[in-house]
Amino acid sequence: MKIAVSALVLMPLICGAAEPLFPTAEGTTWNYDLVQEKPSDSLDLTEPNEREQIAVTYRLGGIQKIDNKDLQRLEIYRGDTLDSIDLIAVEERGIVCPARANPQGAITKFIPPQMMLSAPVTKGKHWKFEGTVGETKVSQDYETVGEEDIAVPAGKFHAWRIHCEQTSPRAASIDRWFVPGTGFVKVVTTINGPSGLLLQKTSLDLTEPPKIKAQPKAKSATESGKLSVGLSKEPAGDFTTSFTSSTPAIYARWQGSGLHVPANIRAVLIAEAVANVGTGYEMEEDSAVAPASNSRGTLTLDRPDEGWVPGNYRVDFYVDDAPAGTVKLKISK
């Protein structure tokens, strides 16, 4: 997601005269445990998959007007950092997502608005999304498979399973377990490469029932004071945050100040608003060892064989696994 941390759930739908399918109050908060797994880069086939665990929070915020339409803000946090805001509309036919905003307020539109949940929820229901997210073409096929029992840290639930097969811009399978009155309690996203081999698997599990909570004091990703960072199209070129899908590589450059020696410097390219498969998906990474406290270097984020997918990204820098800076960037056609 992504994938994906993205608009999974969380808006009020009415099923006949019954209670809403989702909690409706502003401040309603869902806490999740996100686990990302991807195959190890080691040549040793017995080496276990690389695994990363992150706390993710979804929170219903206030109203934001887009194109003269009132939309509900669904704030998505990774740890204490605001990652993105999905802008949601509730219609008689279900929940739709017309747009997404990044923490700086830049808007990416879904054309047409993307159906996140088709109501009423019934077994065998199908729907498609054939459109664009920003400049990226997306093709997804959804089906409400049926009802299943499932256990997550928040408890045991009888849930509807909704399956999505995505063919563009990148092959992915998404399974979501939805409980009326609670929301989505589990989401599993599998992303495969062109050969069919697993690239990444992401599991999102609800850790407690939804509650009304105050808005977190979100931290913005900033430089650590020990690392100055920037991006460029050449190893020693001018800094930029605009790239094209044909750019051979993105160079992540850093300058240390008072680093301990040796320090491991790492840069990770992460998708933010990239056709709904990208939010939180780690695209590329590179690392190096700082040989001196004030050393500098350049890390190379190579273009995938199929080219960069247009959209909004960020590069997170780390010093020995501690966050040390973030640069936002955009890739266009």
DSSP annotation string for 253-320 = EEEESS--SSEEEEEEEEEEESTTT-TT-EEEEEEEEESSTT-EEEEEEEPPTT-PPPEEEEEEEEET
For strand 172-179 and strand 155-168, is the pairing parallel, antiparallel, or unpaired?
Answer: antiparallel
CA of residue 218 relative to chain centroid, distance? 17
Q: How far apart are CA 61 and CA 309, in angstroms?
A: 30
State whether residue 110 is helix, strand or coil: strand
pLDDT of residue 225: 43
DSSP string of 195-259? TS-EEEEEEEEE-S--EE-PPP-PPPP---SSEEEEEESSTTS-B-SEEETT-SEEEEEEEESS-
Which of 77-91, 107-121, 133-147, 172-186 is least confident? 77-91
The edge-to-edge listing of strands for the beta sheet with 249-256 is: 227-232, 249-256, 296-302
Q: Which two tokens stand for residue 266?
A: 């790492």
Q: Please name each of the domains of the chain with its CATH number.
A: 28-212 (2.40.360), 227-332 (2.60.40.10)
Answer whether 310's CB lies under 8 Å from 332's CB: yes
Task: Tell me the pLDDT tens digit for each residue of 281-294.
Answer: 888 999 998 887 77
Q: Given pLDDT bands bounded at 50, 70 and 90, which one contains residue 333?
A: confident
Q: How far apart are CA 130 and CA 142, in angstroms?
A: 11
| Closest C-alpha among 119, 122, 138, 120 to residue 130 | 138
Task: Tell me the pLDDT tens digit for each residue of 239-264.
Answer: 889 999 889 999 999 988 777 778 88
Task: Tell me the pLDDT tens digit for each residue of 117-167.
Answer: 999 999 999 999 999 988 889 999 999 999 999 999 999 999 999 999 999
For strand 282-290 and strand 263-273, is the pairing parallel, antiparallel, or unpaired?
Answer: antiparallel
Residue identified by tokens 């608003």 is 273
Q: What is the pTM of this model?
A: 0.64
pLDDT of residue 222: 35
Task: Tell me the pLDDT tens digit for each residue of 296-332.
Answer: 889 999 998 888 989 999 999 988 878 888 999 999 9
What's the mean pLDDT in 76-83?
81
Q: How far apart are CA 12 and CA 181, in angstroms?
A: 9
State whether residue 66 is helix, strand or coil: strand
CA of residue 160 relative to chain centroid, distance? 23
